[in-house]
Amino acid sequence: MSSITQAEIKQVRSLREKKFRDESGLFVVEGEKMVQEALASDFEVVRVWRREEIGEAAMERISQLSSPSPVLAVVARPAEPAEPAFGHALYLALDGVRDPGNLGTILRIADWFGVTAVFLSGDCVEPYNPKSVQSSMGSIFRVRAVTADLPALARRFRAAGMRVYGTFLDGKNLYGEALDAEGLVVMGNEAAGIRPALAAEVDARLLIPPYGGSGRPGAESLNVAAATAVTLSEFRRR
């Protein structure tokens, strides 16, 4: 029967905090599906512990979930590139998205729609936050989340001949606008939207129109993850 040392328990527990994830370059993955996704990816899986090997009590101590899963892995974060790379394809950028559940869900949505990289402003929630990892449902191992200077990145896209799109409450109807199969789609902060410095680099301002028109009473806006799904779906439908 395998065991886990007190030092290992302490290290795994420390990875609940961003400070220690940053210092060690490690993060935690839990659940059979998630650990299998990690093992099948090009991420380095440092260690795997199973409940039947270390015991229920030890698994409860290292788990970050309210109901400990049967298996937990410690995984190394990939190195961040000095300058974000992209080709002629469709990409996503997130400006100040702060909710880890939203970020993880957006990675999953990007994965569904074949978007291979999501660029994050420096103040986005960390993609290796436990809630981001778990809500990605394994997509974090297929969709690269890369921190970038988003206004500079948008200028690079435009210089490469690709359009930059953004979602705004005063934008033009998404369903009536010309959309390319390649470019950068920008989604903004849950409350404040896309900031002015980045908005100035956007070529096409898009709006997801509410059913029945904007004058009707109802929800003020969509959740950013839901808006991302609607927007990417329309890009892929064309």
Q: Could you give the domains of the chain?
A: 6-76 (3.30.1330.30), 90-237 (3.40.1280.10)
- Per-residue pLDDT band at 140 (split at 50, 70, 90): very high
> Which residue is listed with tokens 């979930």?
65
- Per-residue pLDDT band at 83 (split at 50, 70, 90): confident
pLDDT at 218: 67
DSSP summary character for residue 192 = T
Averaged over 97-108, what is the pLDDT?
Answer: 97
The rounded distance, in Å, linking the Cα atoms of 106 and 59 is 29
Query: Where does residue 73 fall: left (phi above 0), alpha (psi -120 to 50 degrees), or beta otherwise?
Result: beta
- From the list 129, 141, 148, the residue with the least C-alpha distance to 20 is 129
Mean pLDDT of the chain: 94
pTM of this structure: 0.93
Judged against a pLDDT cut of 50, whether residue 1 lies above it is answered with: no
